[in-house]
Amino acid sequence: MIVAKRKPFDEIKEYIKDYKKVLVAGCGTCVAVCLAGGEKEVDILNTELDMARRLDNNPLETGTITIERQCDVEYLEGLDDVVKDYEAILSMACGVGIQFLAERFPGIPVYPAVDTTGMSANLAVGLYEERCRSCGECVLGLTGGICPVTMCAKGLYNGPCGGTNNGNCEIDDDQPCAWFKIYERLATQGRLDNILKIKEPVGWNDQIPRTLIQPGYMKPEKDA
């Protein structure tokens, strides 16, 4: 899932310092599961802002709403009647949701209340580890199901480099070396021949904004 972490409070407060009426908009899917921007986190931020602005003698009128998904037009419709009462929106969705919200309400400033930090696995409550960089050219079939693009600090396709340290990465003793793990898994499976062959330079597919149209589908006429 997509994970995010809340921005520092002072940064959020600074964004909205000139507004008197602000809507805090949560998202009920990924960022809710990773405890960054769901209903509960919306309420907490709302309370913090309310208290801080009272202390500043600059009271803020806030509203809160959490919709199922800010990245989906179907759910955004529910906001149409709500946002018109506000001068600005603080979105607690991922970067996709924030942009989608800003696009739907182009007359109202939308500010991010979280930083989106990647696509991660849920290892324990509150603990998430990045596993995919959406490079667009998956090599997991070659590398034993361990992603070198994400988990190798240098993103090497022909690792490991010379910095492997007792199975860990040179950058941190707590960070396992992706290529050490790849080697071990492929050795266990008898598939080391996968990485004996040189992986030639890849064409980076993430250097321009990507649009995906699945086979059999097409862009709606109105946007074409």
Partner 1 sequence: MSTEGNGFKSGSNLEKILTAGHFAFTGELGPPRGNAVEEVAEKAKHLKGMVDAVNITDNQTAMVRMASWAASLLIMQQGLEPNFQMVCRDRNRLAMQADILGATALGIKNMLCLSGDHQKFGDHPNAKGVFDIDSIQLIGMVKKMRDEGKFLGGAELDGSPKMFIGAAANPFADPFEWRVHRLAKKISAGVDFIQTQCIYNMDKFRKWVQQANDMGLTEKVYILAGVTPMKSVGMAKYMKAKVPGMDVPDEVIKRLQGAEKGKVAAEGIKMACEQIEEFKELKGVHGVHLMAIEWEHKVPEIAEQAKVLPRPEV
Residues contributing to the site for partner 1 (CB under 8 A): 153-167, 170-171, 180, 183-184, 192, 196, 198-201, 204
* DSSP output for 106-133: TTS-EEESEEEEEEEEEEETTEEEEEE-
Report CA-CA distances (Å) from 67 to 31, 72, 136: 12, 10, 29
Nearer to partner 1, 103 or 204 (CB): 204
**CB of 159 vs partner 1, minimal distance in Å:** 7
Nearer to partner 1, 108 or 161 (CB): 161
**CB of 143 vs partner 1, minimal distance in Å:** 13
Nearer to partner 1, 51 or 171 (CB): 171
**CB of 146 vs partner 1, minimal distance in Å:** 14
**Burial annotation 91-103 (CB, 10 A radius, 16+ → b, else e):** bbbbbbbbbbbbe
**Phi, psi values for residue 191, rounded to 5°:** -120, 25
- Could you give the CA distance from residue 7 to residue 31 in angstroms, rounded to a whole number? 13
Nearer to partner 1, 39 or 170 (CB): 170
**CB of 83 vs partner 1, minimal distance in Å:** 36
- Could you give the CA distance from residue 90 to residue 21 in angstroms, rounded to a whole number? 11
**CB of 8 vs partner 1, minimal distance in Å:** 17
* Block residue for tokens 């001068």: 87
Name all contacts of 179-183 with Cβ < 8 Å and 24+ positions apart. 179/148, 179/152, 181/144, 181/146, 181/151, 182/143, 182/144, 182/146, 182/148
Give me 68's structure tokens: 């199922």
**CB of 32 vs partner 1, minimal distance in Å:** 30
Nearer to partner 1, 73 or 171 (CB): 171
- Largest alpha-carbon pair distance within the chain? 69
Nearer to partner 1, 30 or 186 (CB): 186
